[in-house]
């Protein structure tokens, strides 16, 4: 009986030390999701700029559907699959891209994405915006 009580006490101590670490995983998950979306936005803007460049320089059958106009950081949201504008919500998290003009074609700017979810402190991530199709 004493051995059983000792085992239960040891399990209680282990649970008490591990529980705070597991509770904080929500904020870590939100931070990771925000940085993942920011990385996807950088990649989408790069691919879009490449498509716009190919469309502009290729006069033999270039496909204009490969190029979307990006003049502002928030225009990048429309390059993501299933997203039409900023702010957008995915899996209960709202992502807002701060509107900021980028400039002429090929110009870059540091853009800001904010992820918010109920009960968790908002997270900000940065990504590189590339102007295209202007």
Domain layout of the chain by residue ranges: 2-130
Q: For residue 130, give the nearest of 51, 34, 22 by alpha carbon.
A: 51
Q: For residue 115, give the nearest of 34, 37, 41, 36 by alpha carbon.
A: 34
**pTM of the full predicted structure?**
0.76
Contacts of 25 (CB under 8 A, 6+ apart): none
- Which pLDDT tens digit goes with each residue over 78-123? 888 888 888 999 888 999 999 888 888 888 999 999 999 998 889 9
């Amino acid at each position: 009986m004493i051995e059983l009580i000792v085992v239960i006490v040891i399990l209680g101590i282990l649970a008490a030390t591990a529980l705070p670490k597991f509770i904080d995983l929500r904020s870590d998950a939100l931070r990771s999701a925000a940085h993942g979306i920011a990385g996807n936005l950088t990649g989408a803007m790069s691919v879009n700029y490449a498509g716009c460049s190919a469309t502009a320089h290729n006069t033999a059958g270039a496909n204009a559907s490969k190029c979307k106009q990006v003049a502002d950081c928030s225009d990048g949201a429309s390059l993501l699959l299933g997203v039409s504008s900023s702010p957008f919500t995915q899996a209960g998290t709202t992502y807002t891209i701060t509107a900021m003009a980028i400039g002429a074609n090929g110009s870059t700017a540091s853009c800001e994405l904010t992820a918010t979810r109920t009960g968790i402190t908002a997270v900000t991530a940065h990504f590189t915006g590339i102007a295209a199709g202007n």
